[in-house]
Structure 1
Amino acid sequence: MKIRMNQQWLWALPFSFAALVMTGCQERPAPQAELAATTKQEKAESIPLIQAKVVPVKLSKPEACEAEGCMQYDIQTVETNVKWIDDYFIDRVKKADPIAFSTAPNQKINTAEGANPNLSQSSTYIRFVSQQYDQATFAIQTYIYSAGAAHGMYHQEFVNFDLKNKKRLALQDILVKGAEQQVLDTLYDSNSLWLDQHSIERDKLKLSDNFYFGANGIVFVYPLYELASYAEGMTELTLPYVALTKLVKAEYLPSLPKYPSL
């Protein structure tokens, strides 16, 4: 009877050992820090690294004519690895110059016999400027020359995208709520020498909704004639990042060095 009991114990031993091995092989839950690191890595991988090249846009009417004369169009956009960005710019140029995409026939030009018809020009060029992690900046450059004018008019508009949320960033999107006046005052103080030289008083300066993220701060861009003469071109006023830490939402500020206090 004693020998039989020992045999039963010996038969049970392999099963107990197998259960122990299986328990040891079960996948243990990942530590919280490891899960957080994995989630952060997945989010980083979802942010595309912009690759862009400038390509011509195929137009139905590269030269559109009406009774008063003709307009020549030259439109070039960006082709990137992000479809919704490409679609955004194609939609912009189609809305800006619908005649260039129209299939309606050109009108007959009314000109005196032997006279050359009025010929105007319109150019639109879109290019990639820079990327800071989940923010990408593009520029739309336009030039219009109307026949008979002393000179053409040009403009440069900067378009900033939030790549994580797939949207264009307006100025109110990046500013802390209620910070507009403080931003304006700080912008004036940071550029007071140039503004004084151009006789621009504090209450005459407005925040521009045309801006981009520069190397040293947010750059506000103003159209021709608004703050300076045509010869001086479009005005750019820089607001240093170090002055924006409490005025711009943290997610839209670049990582800055910690400078020693003087």
Structure 2
Amino acid sequence: MLKHMNRFGKLSVICASMIMLGACQPKSDAETKKSNETAAQAKQSESWYIESKNVELKPKQKQVCDEAGCTEYSFQTVETNHPWINMYFKNRIEKADPIPFQSATKSSETKTVDPLKLSQSQTVVRYLSQHQNIASFEYLSYVYPAGAAHGMYHKEYVHFDLKTKKRIALQDLIVKGQNKKLLETLYSANSMWLTDHNIEQDKLELSDNFYYGVDGIVFVYPLYELASYAEGMSELTLPYVSVNGLIQSEYLPNLPKLTAE
């Protein structure tokens, strides 16, 4: 009995030694490369991750008066974990409305103004979404001149490629040489609405303002360009099922692979 136990004990030691020896064996070049690539991808994804909150951007003058009257300004921007994005919006806001960010002179000091005679100007930036290395934001500007029937607003969608740290322009999005085909496809997908608004195909142009919708890429047009003020900013959708060969795949969200029935 003891002899069998000793033999079993020796076998256990041998097996344990073999397992430990196998664990200590160096990885093959292929395994090492794959491990390094996985670690690099994880690190890259972590560097792309967006954290964002809305913050007030305080001007030096909240109210500015000139010969035309007085305007009250309000600015709200984003504070993200990517300083270059924060700086992009800060610089853009200050460039669009430079006077409120200048030091007040004696002649432009804040004075009490009848609220009915005070114009309003508001700018709001907000974070929308992220898919892979693309981060999307909305830039909203609103102006209400005192005494006007209504204000004027504009929504612009801003997309950043977190790999290159650059804004994605319309021409980055479109496959080279496919502008005409894309425009034809966009018109076809929205022909009923466009026909109802008396817009012929040769009169439609691509908007450089777009966002990623649920069903496709949505091209957004300014007030009055395609429809009345009451209808708001017009939106034309290019369905994702139609973008193959028209839109650069790197600038598309992860889409399910659809098979024709």
Same fold (TM over 0.5): yes
- SS of the residue 1:188 aligns to: helix
Query: Which TM-score applies when normalising by structure 1?
Result: 0.83
Inter-partner Cα distance in structure 2 for 1:216 and 1:30:
44
Counterparts in 2 of 1:126-205, with a 5 A limit?
A: 126-205=125-204
- The answer to whether the 8 Å contact 1:171/1:209 transfers is yes
Residue 65 of structure 2 aligns to which amino acid in structure 1? C
Say whether the 8 Å CA contact 1:56–1:75 is kept in structure 2: yes
Q: SS of the residue aligned with 2:37?
A: helix
After superposition, residues 210-249 of structure 1 pair within 5 angstroms as 210-249=209-248
How much identity, in percent, do the aligned residues show? 51
CA contact (8 A) 2:64 2:108 kept: no
Give the Cα–Cα distance (whole angstroms) in 2 for the partners of residues 238 and 106 of structure 1. Answer: 51
| 1:65 positional shift | 1.0
AA at the equivalent of 1:94: E
Q: Mark the CA change 1:217 to 1:108 in structure 2 (over 3 Å): closer, same or farther.
A: closer
Q: Which has the larger radius of gyration?
A: 1
TM-score, structure 2 as length reference: 0.83
Give the letter for the 1:169 counterpart: I
Task: Report the Cα distance in structure 2 between the residues aligned to 1:183 and 1:215, rounded to whole angstroms.
Answer: 19
1:209 aligns to what SS in structure 2? coil
State which of 20, 23, 36 in structure 2 corresponds to 1:38: 36
| Alpha-carbon distance in 2 for matches of 1:81, 1:178 | 36
2:86 equivalent to 1:86: yes
Q: Would you say the 8 A contact 1:69–1:117 is kept in 2? A: no
Partner residue in 2 for 1:15: none
Query: Structure 1: how far apart are the matches of 2:115 and 2:81?
Result: 45
1:215-235: per-residue Cα shift (whole Å, max 9, x none)? 221110001000011001001
Find the counterpart in structure 1 of residue 57 from structure 2.
57
Distance 1:180 1:29, change over 3 A: same
**Where do 5+ consecutive residues of structure 1 fail to align?**
1-23
One-letter identity of the residue aligned with 1:57: L
Asked whether the 8 Å contact 2:221–2:234 carries over to 1, the reply is yes
Distance 1:115 1:86, change over 3 A: closer
